């Protein structure tokens, strides 16, 4: 007979997944500003730096509506945001849509279809295709070995995987030819 004070738990198996639930995701990213703050924290843990010249002397906030940072470096003085220098650069989608899409890709057993992104995020099919293609392109560039599978990785929770995906987006700006080529 078992002791009623002890809690029996199932051992981690195929059905067990450590990570963030949908409810936790919605609480973490209730709006674009929360998602932008999280992406900013992941991209610049030591504070913002100019993606053009690498200077860390940055003015924040600025009077520019979409570019909240301005470089104070010698000769640069360019406006920028968290999107500049990433695959999010020319996207009109909000930070919340990007964060939710990265979550869906990380928690899916198989890939996420563009139709699912279209339905779940309430965006056009064309935007969903570009969003999915950019995320997949970043993941292709992140793998160091061609046959490194899931069994070679250390176990991570969903938030770690999302952070790794966002870090992979930095410094990567896709051209139209790269999007259409694959």
| pLDDT for position 152 | 38
Q: Identify whether 149 is part of a domain.
A: yes
What was the pLDDT predicted at 150? 41
Average pLDDT over the chain, rounded to whole? 78
Range of the domain at 58: 46-81
Measured torsion, CA atoms of residues 100, 104, 107, 111, in degrees rounded to the nearest 10: -160
How many separate domains does the chain show? 2
Q: Go through 2-27 and write b for each residue having 16 or more CB atoms within 10 A of its CB, e for each that does not.
A: eeeeeeeeeeeeeeeeebbeeeebee
In a domain? residue 70: yes
The reply to whether 163 and 113 lie within a common domain is: yes
Same domain, 54 and 120: no
pLDDT 10s digits, 148-162: 334 334 445 567 766
Q: What is the pLDDT of residue 148?
A: 39
Whether residue 50 contacts residue 78, with contact meaning beta carbons closer than 8 Å, is answered with: yes
pLDDT averaged per 10 residues, the chain (length 182): 55 63 91 92 89 86 86 86 87 92 87 92 94 86 47 53 68 58 54
**Residues 90 and 142 reside in one and the same domain:** yes
The verdict on 75 and 137 lying in the same domain is no
In this structure, the answer to whether residues 96 and 132 fall within a common structural domain is yes
Asked, as a colleague might, if the bond just before 61 is cis with ω within 30 of 0, I would say yes
Residue 59's CB: how many other CB atoms inside 10 A?
13
Residue 71 lies in a domain: yes
Q: Specify the pTM.
A: 0.70
- In this structure, the answer to whether residues 77 and 106 fall within a common structural domain is no
Tell me: do 138 and 150 sit in the same domain. yes
d(CA 90, CA 106): 23
Has residue 151 been placed in a domain?
A: yes
| Shared-domain flag, residues 28 and 99 | yes
If asked whether residues 97 and 172 sit together in one domain, one would say yes
């Amino acid at each position: 007979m078992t002791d009623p004070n002890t809690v029996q738990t199932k051992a981690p198996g195929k059905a067990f997944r450590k990570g963030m639930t949908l409810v936790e995701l919605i609480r973490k990213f209730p709006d674009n500003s929360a998602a932008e703050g999280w992406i900013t924290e992941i991209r610049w843990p030591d504070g913002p730096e100019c993606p053009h010249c690498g200077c860390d002397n940055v003015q924040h906030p600025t009077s520019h509506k979409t570019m909240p940072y301005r470089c104070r470096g010698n000769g640069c003085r360019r406006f920028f945001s968290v999107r500049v220098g990433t695959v999010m650069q020319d996207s009109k989608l909000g930070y919340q849509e990007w964060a939710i899409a990265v979550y869906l890709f990380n928690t899916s057993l198989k890939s996420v279809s563009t139709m699912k992104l279209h339905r779940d995020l309430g965006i056009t099919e064309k935007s969903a295709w570009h969003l999915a293609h950019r995320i997949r392109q970043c993941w292709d560039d992140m793998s160091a070995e061609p046959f490194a599978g899931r069994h070679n990785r250390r176990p991570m929770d969903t938030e770690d995987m999302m952070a790794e995906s966002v870090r992979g987006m930095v410094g990567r700006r896709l051209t139209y030819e790269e999007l259409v080529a694959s």
